[in-house]
Amino acid sequence: MIRRLVLHIGRHKTGTSAVQRYLAGHRAAYAREGIVVPDFGGDEGPEAEPADRAAHHRIALDCCSGPVEEARRRADAADGWRARLAGAAEGGHTLVLTSEAFQNCFDFAALRVLCRDHYVEMVCYLREYLDYALSAYAQEVKKAGLYSGFFEFERGFNPQLGRFVARWETFANRCHWRLYDCSRLAEGDVVQDFLATAGLPDFGGDRYQSENPRLGGSLLGFKLLANGAGLHSLRLARALEPLAAARSDFRAPWRVGAGRQAQLRAGRDYNATLEGLVGEIRLTDAATGTLPFESPGFAADLGAILAALEDFPALRAHPLFALYQESGLCPTVP
């Protein structure tokens, strides 16, 4: 019977997609070493991304989400997953599950059913507060259709790191808290760092580090406009990723002045808790970031962005973007 269970729970925007793709891509090699990375429990929806198919989101959601009155249903679901995992992992010594959805556990009753008889090691990567807030904001604009500004978003953004840590320290046999900072990761690589932290073999190969880039600058401004016009879709979000990968200013964080940065950090106890876990941290400096609608660059950038979206004729013909082109505010899309 497998006795060791490694739970990789995120957090969001800490290289989770790279870790998930790597584990899935080397599943057979790990199996030969007695390490089981299940090939089920992922997102099987038609729009699911490769990392979401590789991760174990369905298992995590069944064990960690839902109203309190559904506790019995979640426990039954967890018991079903537990039986299925036991069958898949027969003969192995370590089981690895990875999903950011595990971090949403508030009631651990169902997860305890899933993890019964296992020694649970939890691995979680954490970002400095402002870095985390900026990344979370850009992700909400990109993937969830958010169309508010960063400062409005930040007012409601409170990760409550102390409570989060306390819950997991109570549940897991051992917690590995890691700082998501390239200068502190093994060889600057989150995949290698995760494998070393979890005590798993490194088989080399592709790290998938370029996946899921952040949107910034004019590209973020375009997505805000599209979201406000009701044009958000995951397909559009994915179509913007090559543009973000190609230009660093399309990945830059929302620009925040030094004084405002200090105010934002002072309003949260997040960084103090983080330093208690990982030691001294380096503060993110967003003073050199970009703003989404800066003139005159935005007009030219908008024309280039629309030109790259040939597969979205309805978006390009939307009155909002047609107006930009007809008014001469941006080059006409051929």
For 152-194, what is each residue's pLDDT tens digit? 999 999 999 999 999 999 999 999 999 999 999 999 999 999 9
| Residues 89-131: tens digit of each pLDDT | 888 999 999 999 999 888 899 999 999 989 999 999 999 999 9
Q: Is the pLDDT of residue 300 over 90?
A: no
Distance of alpha carbon 94 from its chain centroid, rounded? 25
Q: Which distant-in-sequence residues (6+ apart) come within 8 Å of 26 by Cβ?
A: 37, 203, 205
Select from 47, 44, 114 the least CA-distant residue to 74: 114
Nearest to 214 by CA among 185, 266, 264, 252: 252
Dihedrals phi, psi of 170, to nearest 5 degrees: -75, -35
What integer pLDDT is reported at residue 324 of this predicted model? 74
User: What is the model's pLDDT at position 117?
Assistant: 86
154 in Cβ contact with 264 (< 8 Å): yes
Question: pLDDT (tens digit, 9 = 90+) per residue, 202-228?
Answer: 998 877 766 688 999 999 999 999 999
Distances (CA, A) of 234 to 56, 231, 238: 20, 10, 6
Six-digit token string for 30: 């790990």
Full 3-state SS string of 181-196: CCCCCHHHCHHHHHHH
What is the mean pLDDT of the segment spanning 137-149? 96
Q: What is the DSSP string of 33-67?
A: TTEE--S-SS--STT--HHHHHS-HHHHHHHH-S-
- pLDDT above 90 (res 329): no
Centre a 10 Å sphere on the Cβ of residue 234 and count the other Cβ atoms it contains: 15
Helices (H), 55-203: 57-64, 71-88, 109-114, 129-139, 150-155, 161-171, 190-198
Q: What pTM was estimated for this model as a whole?
A: 0.91
CB pairs under 8 A, 24+ apart, for 299-305? 299/324, 299/329, 299/330, 300/330, 300/331, 301/217, 301/218, 301/219, 301/222, 302/218, 302/221, 302/222, 302/329, 302/330, 303/330, 303/331, 303/332, 303/333, 304/331, 305/218, 305/219, 305/222, 305/240, 305/243
Q: 121-130, 232-241, 261-270, 292-301 — which is least confidently predicted? A: 292-301
**Mind listing the domains of the chain with CATH numbers?**
4-127+180-198 (3.40.50), 217-326 (no CATH)
